[in-house]
C-alpha cells in the first residue's frame, strides 16, 4: 500500500469515525448545531490546533501524554471486555512498547526536551504505535526490538525476579515476626 493508499485509508477511517455515535461525535454534533460548522471541518480544525499546540504550546508534554494514554486506555478496557483475544494482544503490545519508550525517554529527556518539535514528533510516534494498521509502530518495535531482547535475557530476568521475590517474602516474614515480638513486649509491660 503506497502513501496515497494510506492517506485514503486514514480519510475513510476518519469519516467512518465521524459518522459513528460516540462521545466525540456527540460533542461535535452539538457544536455543529450551535455554530452551523460541519463536524468534518470542526474535527480538522481540532486536529490542526492540537498539532500547533504540540509544537508551540505550554504543557505540550501533558497533551502528548494524554493522547498516548487516553485513547489506548479506553480501547484496552474495551478489549478486556470483549471475548476476542486478538485485540487484547494488540493493546498489550502497545503498552509494552509504550513502557519501553517511556523508560528510555526518562533517561534521555534532558536532551530531548531541547529538540525542536519534540512533542509533535513524540505524539506522531505514539499515534503510529496505536494506529489500526498491520504495520503500526507497536507491532514493528515489539517484533524487531523488544521480543528479541526479551527472549535473549528471559532466563536471567526470571532468576532475578525469583531471587527478589524470595528476598521480599523473607523480609516480610521477618517484619511480621518482629512486629509480633514488639506487640508481646508491649503487652507484658
Span 55-98, pLDDT tens digits: 666 777 787 888 889 889 998 999 999 998 888 889 999 999 99
DSSP 131-170: -SSTT-HHHHHIIIIIHHHHHHHHHHHHHHHHHHHHHHHH
pLDDT at 34 over 80: yes
Domain range summary for the chain, segments of one domain joined by +:
1-56, 58-155
pLDDT at 144 over 90: yes
Task: In whole angstroms, give the CA distance from residue 60 to residue 51.
Answer: 10
Residue whose cell numbers read 531471587: 163
pLDDT confidence of 14, banded at 50, 70, 90?
Answer: confident
Span 97-115, pLDDT tens digits: 999 999 888 888 777 767 7
- Quickly count: other Cβ atoms within 10 Å of residue 27's Cβ: 12
Beta strands in the chain (DSSP E): none
Cβ neighbours of residue 71 under 8 Å, at least 6 residues apart?
130
Residue-averaged pLDDT of the chain: 82
Amino acid at each position: 500500500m503506497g502513501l496515497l493508499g494510506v492517506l485514503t485509508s486514514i480519510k475513510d477511517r476518519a469519516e467512518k469515525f465521524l459518522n459513528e455515535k460516540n462521545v466525540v461525535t456527540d460533542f461535535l454534533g452539538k457544536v455543529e448545531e450551535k455554530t452551523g460548522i460541519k463536524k468534518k471541518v470542526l474535527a480538522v480544525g481540532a486536529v490542526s490546533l492540537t498539532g500547533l499546540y504540540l509544537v508551540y504550546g505550554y504543557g505540550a508534554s501533558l497533551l502528548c501524554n494524554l493522547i498516548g494514554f487516553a485513547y489506548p486506555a479506553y480501547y484496552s478496557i474495551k478489549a478486556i471486555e470483549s471475548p476476542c483475544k486478538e485485540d487484547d494482544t494488540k493493546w498489550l503490545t502497545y503498552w509494552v512498547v509504550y513502557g519501553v519508550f517511556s523508560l528510555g525517554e526518562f533517561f534521555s529527556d534532558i536532551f530531548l526536551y531541547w529538540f525542536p518539535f519534540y512533542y509533535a514528533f513524540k505524539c506522531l510516534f505514539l499515534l503510529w504505535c496505536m494506529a489500526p494498521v498491520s504495520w503500526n509502530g507497536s507491532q514493528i518495535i515489539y517484533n524487531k526490538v523488544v521480543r528479541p531482547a526479551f527472549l535473549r535475557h528471559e532466563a536471567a530476568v526470571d532468576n532475578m525476579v525469583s531471587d527478589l521475590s524470595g528476598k521480599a517474602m523473607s523480609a516480610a516474614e521477618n517484619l511480621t515476626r518482629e512486629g509480633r515480638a514488639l506487640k508481646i513486649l508491649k503487652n507484658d509491660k
